[in-house]
Chain A
Amino acid sequence: MVLALVSHPENCTGCRFCEMICSLYHEGVVNTKKARLRVLKPDLLRDIPLVCTQCLTCGDSCCIQACPEMAISVVDGLVTIDEGLCSGCGNCKKACPYGVIWMDKLAHKCDLCGGDPMCVKFCPSGALTFEEADEASYTSMIATWRDE
């Protein structure tokens, strides 16, 4: 068991503070497109925070397999991009079904802010939590996304 970011769409108000704060914390600018998570809004009734920390076992669209440099791996339970190995080809971003990898010259994804995720701090409604997530709960979280 490791600590993971867990999304609870039933609590999400759709305010997107998480996206703003993620980009400001990591990139020093506010730009929701540079956030390492995003809130999917398929319609009026649904706001779904998409996050990736534990390997989501994305099957055919696996970022780990898509990376020709083998720069992506699971380190201490966290899917991690080794930016020293990244060539910036963008294959992982194309592969990612949840759109939570963004590219400038290199690929970037959630690194849990070094162990104290800002998005969770700024989510008073409890749509994002940082908790011990077993495989079953993570699988069910992904299942709600896959319906979209």
Chain B
Amino acid sequence: MTALLEIAGLKRHFGGLWATNGVDLTLEAGEIHALIGPNGAGKTTLIHLISGALLPDAGTLHFAGAAITRCNTHERVARGITRSYQITQIFPRLSLLENVRLAVQARRRDWGSSLRFWRPASADVQMIAEAADWLGRVGLSPAAGQLAGDVSHGERRALELAMALATRPRLLLLDEPLAGMGPEETEHMTRLIAGLRGAQTVLLVEHDMDIVFRLADRISVLVAGRIIASGTPAVVRENQAVRRAYLGDEL
């Protein structure tokens, strides 16, 4: 396997708090990599730093060999890094299909700029067909015409996944994709993520340890802004520092 994302010495502080305090992390192409750690460990900050929502105070990010440390969000999306949010971020007054179509349209490398003013967007049948296809992959075809503000929480989370996938990322950042879901919805979403294995590199932030150990090829443990352990689930499970700092008796 080859490294897709290489993070070295990454630091970011908010006032006196070093939320990210020297993170080194390498993501291999094709793996599902889980990022775990106690509340306040800096997981979401790290996601922000990788997606470009925040810029680091120190350290470097290399994606597919190129430095992206100073790139903003849309430049990183263009290179292939897309994220989802802990709190659902959708377009509530657009249909599910139109939500995903906007994500498809955002791929400038395939469709060109969105600065097209005259031709109706509804005339781009290929784009709409592709959006419908993504909705189908997350099991939302029956609801395609409904407004995103009207569907259930679980369906919105699945919609978010479809939108993120529709940007055709090389690296997908999932920040607690199961947050607030019931057992059935959790199972559905877990299967969707498991279905990405091998085809899609994923960095997954998740609290539910059963699901982390079920999905992840490798796990990194973040405590107080540092990675204290990184490796296969078996290795991380046996790591004494991890047990002490975080997992406690849970395993």
Q: Do these two chains interact? A: no
Residues on A close to B: CB < 8 A?
none
